[in-house]
Structure 1
Amino acid sequence: MLRQSLEGIKVVDFSQIGAGPTCSMYLGDLGADVVKIEPATGDVGRMLGPPWVDETESAVFVGFNRNKRSIVLDLKSETGLQIARRLISTADVVVESFRPGVMSRFALDYESVRESNPRIVYCSVSAYGSTGDYASKAGVDGILQAASGLMMLLGDNGDAPSKVQAPIVDVSTGYIATIAVLSQLFKRHRTGIGGYLDVSLFASALAIQQSSITGFLGDKALPTRTGSAAPYSAPNEAFQASDGWVMVAAYLGDRWSRLCNILGLPRLIDDPRFVTSSLRVVNRSAMRAELSAAFMAQRCAHWLALFDANDILCSKVCTYEDVMENPALQHMGLIATMETEDGRTFRVPGFPVNSRESQATPHRPPPSLGQHTAEILGELGYTAIEVERLMNEGVTKS
């Protein structure tokens, strides 16, 4: 099973909030043992909300931290650092998201730890990379949406800057970091040597804008903000029906002709302004004016049924209530259900690849702060008396 593919791989995770935890979560989904190191106050993500899950847990933390074990360590103490080094010496992967330089001050950076563990795959996640003039500059998802130009693609011309409300830069950075870690593990399998991975939110934010940035580099024209519309094809956008919005993509082949006939607008098929997708992009305002009045005449369900029957790509612009009723979501098992030891239930988007198979193995719920401290220390050889002493000294807690 896919969920067993990384069995035997141990990940030590120093990251917080979104990007790094996304990476370590997916490694955990693939079967790795992920040990999450937290300060006494916990991952900052635990404090972010609302929204809350079960009235007490941050949706940010719950959404990014399944399949992990939590240990609390005071990295400002020498004993806490010794425990961290001991953990890393037994690990295959380190994921960290401190500002560049912090791990060096702890002597937990790649150059330090590879001396005792040359097989370590070490992934640093930062805002602007670990070197260069911006290395020390901090940033979070929204800041990088702004710095990368992504905000200037969103909304319509004349609108205030807008951001994707889902943390798209964090999540895409986590995906890229996961790919990088898996690639380095594969290389290690061949060479026996680990390596260092420098993953940044800035680079990831640029990577998700491939076509827009490529277009700018080609003609130096700033992209036009087009709301729901794809800037490179038309019609490929949302239209308002009498009871909601319908997203339609009818720009290839004879879909434009079929769309015009369904809407009762056959005269537009050979209109010289609209005979190709490129011309429809150039004349989008006129095209929208023609189509919008027709869409308003019927409900979403009416149009969706006709479009589906005529192979026109379409969807209702869905609320989350609609999404939860989608047969594809149900069929693929895309919502994972996890139950804590005290009987609470969390539901989150699950592993997006081969999800039906993945659902066959229960997910480990996101850990409470320090939930596995004693267990992890015991695995490192600490006795129960030593664990109690460490807790009394404030080095750790459960």
Structure 2
Amino acid sequence: MPEPLSGTRVVDLSKILAGPYVTMSLADLGADVIKVEHPDGGDPTRGWGPPFQGPDATYFLAANRNKRSVTLDLKSPEGQEAAHRLIATADVVVENFRPGSSLARSFDHRELSERYPRLVVLHISAFGESGPLRDEPGYDMVAQAAAGLMSLTGEPDGPPVRAGYAMGDLGAALFGIIGVTSALVERERTGRGQYVTTSLYESLLALHANWATGYFATGERPVRLGSGHPSLVPYQAYPADDGHFVIAVGNDAQFRELSAVLGHPEWADDPRFATNRDRVDNRRALNTELDAVLAGAGVAHWCGLLKAAGVPVTPIRTLDEVYDCPQTEALGIVQKADHPVVGPLRQVAFPVNFGGERPPVRTAPPTLGQHSQDVLAELGYDEAEIARLLHPQGD
């Protein structure tokens, strides 16, 4: 059972998606992750539904498996004292407190680093640690708009569109995971932790990749291309007579095969289409020709012919088709964990294998405060102290 981070303790003070996705991934890799939530409702995504499965929204269930949940009021002296007891046992703290908030002040990274010199602290924000937008709050769509992703997404003659995935949150999460694991490796050399930061905005800029270098080279504002690619043609979704499918031609030899299969070998010698550079320059003309031919048969017909010729092609699957797909089943990436309320709960497991084995989904996402008693007892609180922490006078 691969658990490369076994023996590592992570205190998760974050909420919503980016931070919790970091800590879930660390938990998938074997870390003991303790999620600290407010007693009144916990992580807001517990209520981000429908759909719900059991007491919690499926949004919460997507980013919180393999963790233990403890409820503490971090704005109270007693809650802060308990949190510090917990942090004293930790290797990593992950938080996304809004800059300038009372919680950001109470758990300032400089004080944490001085008090716990081996601690790695990851802070995730909307716009980064400096600049005029530093103190701005922001959800994923705000970051997608501000960082240009929405300007690149959608049809050329349509409005800007939010990417279907929360790419700002998930991008920040993935870079955050890299930052945390790198800091842990460096700590093995130096004996000291450090403060690691990333943001939705910075992560989306990094994911611009070829869009950025293209803009730097030309100074031209990119335009939306629908499913098209700025540097390859044909490389997009095309309509057949019963649906859409994707053709992804990566070189001129593949285009020659495509042209032959579609009954137009002359396209490969047409000066408008002979090289990829020509095809990019004449994108509209080539797509007009392709649309006319492909409308004559169905998705399965074209995918079968083109795949046999070595042209990369696939139907565009819906999620029901994806999770019924033999490829998905063969990978063993969909696993089940027993949830205390709903029973077996399906989850998409960690997408990296170690020595041919995938880290398992060990436990379902916790119910709110499910592990408060156990964790607080581990920290040395007796039953009476635990009762006072979890049920202050007046509650």
TM-score (norm 2): 0.96
Q: How many residues align?
A: 393
Asked whether 1:237 is paired with 2:239, we answer no
TM-superposed deviation, 1:208: 1.1
Partner of 1:226: 225
Code of the residue aligned with 1:89 in structure 2: it is: A
TM-superposed deviation, 1:158: 2.1
Cα distance in structure 2, aligned partners of 1:394 and 1:297: 74
Partner of 2:94: 95
Of 326-335 and 238-247, deviating more is 326-335
TM-superposed deviation, 1:116: 2.4
Cα distance in structure 2, aligned partners of 1:392 and 1:287: 69
Partner of 1:321: 320
Partner of 2:261: 262
Once the two structures are superposed, residues 262-294 of structure 1 have per-residue CA deviations (whole angstroms, 9 ceiling, x without a partner) of: 111122121111011111111111101101111
Cα distance in structure 2, aligned partners of 1:80 and 1:61: 23
Partner of 1:49: 49
For the 8 Å contact 2:71–2:369, the answer to whether it is kept is yes
TM-superposed deviation, 1:75: 1.2
TM-superposed deviation, 1:350: 1.2
TM-superposed deviation, 1:101: 3.1
Partner of 2:287: 288
Asked whether 1:108 is paired with 2:88, we answer no
Partner of 1:185: 184
For the 8 Å contact 1:89–1:113, the answer to whether it is kept is no
Code of the residue aligned with 1:243 in structure 2: it is: D
Q: 1:243 to 1:394 in 2, by over 3 A?
A: farther
TM-superposed deviation, 1:389: 2.0
Cα distance in structure 1, aligned partners of 2:234 and 2:386: 64
For the 8 Å contact 2:334–2:349, the answer to whether it is kept is yes
For the 8 Å contact 1:336–1:363, the answer to whether it is kept is no
Matches within 5 A, 1:1-398: 1-2=1-2, 4-40=3-39, 41-54=41-54, 56-102=55-101, 106-342=105-341, 344-354=343-353, 357-358=357-358, 361-393=360-392
TM-superposed deviation, 1:343: 5.0
Cα distance in structure 1, aligned partners of 2:293 and 2:51: 39
Once the two structures are superposed, residues 70-104 of structure 1 have per-residue CA deviations (whole angstroms, 9 ceiling, x without a partner) of: 11111111001111111111100000011123366
What is the Cα-based RMSD across aligned positions, in Å?
Answer: 1.7
Matched residues, percent identical? Answer: 38
Q: 1:256 to 1:280 in 2, by over 3 A?
A: same
Cα distance in structure 1, aligned partners of 2:393 and 2:282: 67
Structure 2, unpaired ranges of 5+: none
TM-superposed deviation, 1:301: 0.9
TM-score (norm 1): 0.95
Cα distance in structure 1, aligned partners of 2:103 and 2:42: 22
Of 33-42 and 384-393, deviating more is 384-393
Once the two structures are superposed, residues 179-232 of structure 1 have per-residue CA deviations (whole angstroms, 9 ceiling, x without a partner) of: 100000000011110000011110001111111011111111111211111111
Code of the residue aligned with 1:278 in structure 2: it is: R
For the 8 Å contact 1:85–1:108, the answer to whether it is kept is no
Structure 1, unpaired ranges of 5+: none
